Structure 1
Amino acid sequence: MTTILAVANQKGGVAKTTTVASLGAALAASGRRVLVVDLDPQGSLTFSLGHNPDKLTASVHEVLTAALPVGEAILSTDDGVDLLPATIDLAGAEALLLMRPGREYTLKRALAPVAADYDVVLLDCPPSLGVLTLNGLTAATAVLVPLQCETLAHRGVGQLLTTVEEVRQITNPDLELLGALATLFDARTTHSRDVLADVSGQYDIPVVAPPIPRTVRFAEASASGTSVISGRKNKGAEAYRELARNLDAYWTGGAALQTYDAE
């Protein structure tokens, strides 16, 4: 079965796009067939994987709003993953979808013809809890919440978890909450561990291993149009490779999901 993982948090700057690009590239490097979907009108994932959103004529916007077959919008990337890109036009999709019945299922229906071609589909949800994020959660089999290890990082986590529960009750009863993923983590400080312990204790959710360290390599990779996985060896790339191994063993090998003890 295809695993569809929504990477979601309505707070911006928590490394959602970095996680989708890097995890996708790591899974592809291990032999998995991977599709990444950019659901953010800013098109950051599209840009970070080497495509200019301003020069695209077909994107997820046309797939969702104009019934363009999804296969006609998918692009290849240098990281070995396929990309369903986004452009700024996607900003108008919310209003168009709001007028449609069954709007939460639009993405799920659109992906259905190609989902079986991939082992993993990663959804980069926008930093909001609007119709696009609801589409992502409805289409997904699981959701991962990137969490910045800094003060006030947990703002909005409770609301997101409430939304996940509502999606389970209404549109996707089988949606699995994998847990939080610690990003911008600095193992040298007690502050990072305290933030994780606070979130884990307050919301009773696991923290998926390993935490992703803070490194300038992520910004450098995005600017170059490739993921951090394809660059020089660095601690960020190694962390995402370990995350990929953890998730792959959980999804395909029946192994227990490895978690990080924040205490």
Structure 2
Amino acid sequence: MASPYSDGAREKVASKLPASLRQELKTRAAQLGIDMQDAVTEAVEQWRARPAGNNPTIDTAGAESWNTWLPAGLYDAFKADCTTRDISFVQGLAQAVRVWIDSHSVSLAELTIPQYTRRIVVCNQKGGVGKTTIAAGVGQAIALGLPASTGSSKLPALPPRRTLLVDYDPQGHLTSQLGVKQIAPGEESLVTHMVERERVAGTLLDQVVPVAPEHFGDRLFLLPSSFDAFLLDSRLGSVRGPREASLQRALAPLEEHFDTIVIDAPPNLGLAMDAGLYYGHRRRNEPVGVSGVLVPVEAEDSSADAYVMLDSQIRTISLDYEVEIDRLGLVVNKFDKRKGYVATHSLENWQALGTPPVVAVVPDLKEQREAVHLKQPLLMYAPTSIQAQRMREIRRRLG
């Protein structure tokens, strides 16, 4: 079992919690800008300090499996208190969460943080355009946050966010570039949770691994690719229920643990891509432009042809399933003006498109290749490089 906390400071807690209470907890923690694990820690400590008679009894019928992390030793002390108070661990945890939510009210003026985890699907059906580079770089920039601008523009600070990178590409480049092993065939993975929901016994959270926790402050994580992903399109054909929602169903239990999920999508237009695009659709009451697709392209003709096909697929998914999929922007990647007229004219065409906008032009420089070779995140290996600056620029443009 992989735990995002590898230093032993926290331990995994497997329990149950009513779905409605879990959603309230996630929402309130987001509104206050508090990490979910920290919120639960506060809740348990607050509950332990209160007299037993002051805690409400919670209806836990139908409570669902739920995982979190607490400081080492706290859960054992909590369970001992539950035994002393003659209540189940599930009831004790539900009481703790309820009390914490009720004691951390938020005024209407403060209700500005979206209810949903932000979902950014980095996609293009053309291979070789640098989807993995952009997905990884944007995820790193979100996890690190941005300081306020001191220049004439005076842009506000963007706080660091707890971010999950999902390697949804069967080639596993994102997993390999970050020095992580792919999940072996037959083991639980994103694929099994998409196509074998009735058989999986664990949680996808068990497969999540931290990325350079010291550098990213325990805020950047990876769900590795699986060798089984090469068969995903064919296996999705036998899935019961709406196939387009299979990725959303698989990742739903992870959303409460992360502020942002960045998907490195496969380079094709098959069923897996349908599910990826659908995952990025705008959900009920979600503001426009929060979640959606980010499309890396190159400054050359074949990339433009590929974008037309991708845009057509986005339109088809939107119409068929009556959802809105926001185009967050284009990233002109691996740009090299030394390639001459074709490159410069193509860049002008991308910029003239207007909607979606070009959010950054990333030059083709050595730092990214060196970072991949050393299996290190770009913003850790070369944080002052031009490419790293462009990743922060994308983060800023996405808001």
Identify whether the pair has TM-score above 0.5, normalized to the shorter chain: yes
Question: Greater CA radius of gyration, 1 or 2?
Answer: 2
Q: Quote the residue 2:171 is aligned against.
A: 42
Say which of 132, 136, 159 aligns to 2:276: 136
Specify the code of the residue in structure 2 equivalent to 1:119. D
Aligned partners of 1:200 and 1:206 also within 8 Å: no
Alpha-carbon shift at residue 26 of structure 1 (Å):
1.1
2-side partners of 1:50 and 1:98: how far apart?
Answer: 32
Alpha-carbon shift at residue 192 of structure 1 (Å):
3.1
Number of residue-to-residue matches in the alignment: 247
Aligned partners of 1:59 and 1:87 also within 8 Å: yes
Question: Does residue 359 of structure 2 align to residue 209 of structure 1?
Answer: yes
Q: Quote the residue 1:194 is aligned against.
A: 345
Against the structure 1 CA distance between its residues 94 and 225, is the aligned structure 2 distance closer, same or farther, given a 3 Å change threshold? same
Q: Quote the residue 1:76 is aligned against.
A: 210
Q: Quote the residue 1:64 is aligned against.
A: 194
TM-score, normalised to structure 2, is 0.58
2-side partners of 1:65 and 1:221: how far apart?
Answer: 34
Q: Quote the residue 2:386 is aligned against.
A: 235
Say which of 204, 212, 228 aligns to 1:89: 228
Q: Quote the residue 2:27 is aligned against.
A: none
Unaligned runs of 5+ in 2: 1-115, 146-159, 281-290
Alpha-carbon shift at residue 179 of structure 1 (Å):
2.6
Alpha-carbon shift at residue 104 of structure 1 (Å):
1.0
Query: The residue matched to 2:304 in structure 1 has which SS?
Result: coil
Alpha-carbon shift at residue 195 of structure 1 (Å):
0.7
Q: What do residues 9-61 of structure 1 show as CA deviations (whole Å, max 9, x unaligned)?
A: 01001010001111101111111111111111111111112202166844322
Question: Does residue 131 of structure 2 align to residue 20 of structure 1?
Answer: no
Say which of 151, 161, 169 aligns to 1:32: 161
Q: Quote the residue 1:258 is aligned against.
A: none
Specify the code of the residue in structure 1 equivalent to 2:265. C
In terms of mean alpha carbon deviation, does 8-17 or 232-241 score higher? 232-241
Q: What do residues 136-165 of structure 1 show as CA deviations (whole Å, max 9, x unaligned)?
A: 111113011100123422122111101001
Specify the code of the residue in structure 2 equivalent to 1:75. V
Against the structure 1 CA distance between its residues 142 and 219, is the aligned structure 2 distance closer, same or farther, given a 3 Å change threshold? same
Alpha-carbon shift at residue 134 of structure 1 (Å):
0.9
Runs of 4+ in 1 over 6 A off after TM superposition: none
Q: Quote the residue 1:159 is aligned against.
A: 309
Aligned partners of 2:183 and 2:225 also within 8 Å: no
TM-score, normalised to structure 1, is 0.86
Unaligned runs of 5+ in 1: 250-263
Q: CA-atom RMSD, angstroms?
A: 2.0
Question: Does residue 276 of structure 2 align to residue 145 of structure 1?
Answer: no
